[in-house]
Amino acid sequence: MRGTQITLFVIGLLILGTQTFRHVYVKWIEPTDSVLDEYRPPIAEDILETKDLDELVALYDAAFKKRKAYEETASLESIDLSRRTGAAPYESEAEVRDAIERWEAQSRSIFQLRFYWFVGLLSVVGGLFAYTRINPWLGMVGIITGFTEMTVWTSPLWHSWGPQAQFQSLLNQKLLLSFISVALLVGLWLLRARRSGGAGTSVG
């Protein structure tokens, strides 16, 4: 079992450490400016600067009303052409709708991240109990399952168009939970080695 534990520890720390570095890069280092920023339409700037979902809903409400007012006065031919070409006012409404869908998707991702990470933590705790009280191999299954959940749900993010406030919230939580996962994995390894009375690679 010692060789298996060493292999799994190295693989787990490698993956968690690598994606933690990726979170750090995306949050603080990755360039996000573009020479095309000055050509960005006003509605895109408004979307990027929104701080909560209510602000996005207000933008969508304004775009929706503008589109309805346009349809009340424009000819059917003009409406059909604007729809097919994605011209104003349909363009603004579509962009805000897409931003709202992104925000809601990221909100669901935050909920899933918290849920599955804590499920993983419970699995690790249960695995440790089984390892010491029931059967080492049964315990290893629980521990491996737990750290796998933590690793999968703290996987890296990439910058994309849309409101940045919710993206940053998701990124921050992934970064924090990645750090905690690494600390937990290393802490358990050192505790196991200490209890075995050996060096850092000894697992008894």
Single-letter amino acid, residue 172: N
In a domain, 147, yes or no: yes
Cβ burial, residue 47 (10 Å; 0-12/13-18/19+):
buried
Q: Which domain holds residue 8?
A: 2-196
Whether 204 is covered by a domain: the verdict is no
Rounded distance between C-alpha atoms, residue 109 and residue 115, angstroms: 10
Model pLDDT, residue 198: 53
| Residues constituting the chain | 204
The predicted pLDDT at position 202 comes to 39
Q: Is 163 left (phi over 0), alpha (psi -120 to 50) or beta?
A: beta
Q: Output the pLDDT for position 45.
A: 85
| pLDDT for the residue numbered 191 | 86
Looking at residue 109, its amino acid is S
Q: Are 177 and 186 in contact (CB under 8 A)?
A: no
Quote the pLDDT of residue 6: 83
- The reply to whether 201 falls in a domain is no
The tens-digit pLDDT sequence of the chain (204 residues) is 777 888 888 999 999 999 999 999 999 998 877 777 777 888 888 888 899 999 999 999 999 999 999 989 988 999 888 888 877 888 889 999 999 999 999 999 999 999 999 999 999 999 999 988 999 899 999 999 999 999 999 999 887 777 888 999 999 999 999 999 999 999 998 888 887 765 444 333
202 falls within a domain: no
Total domain count for the chain? 1
CA dist list (Å): 174 to 112, 168, 179: 11, 10, 9
pTM, rounded to two decimals: 0.85
Any domain includes 203: no
> Is residue 136 included in any domain, yes or no?
yes
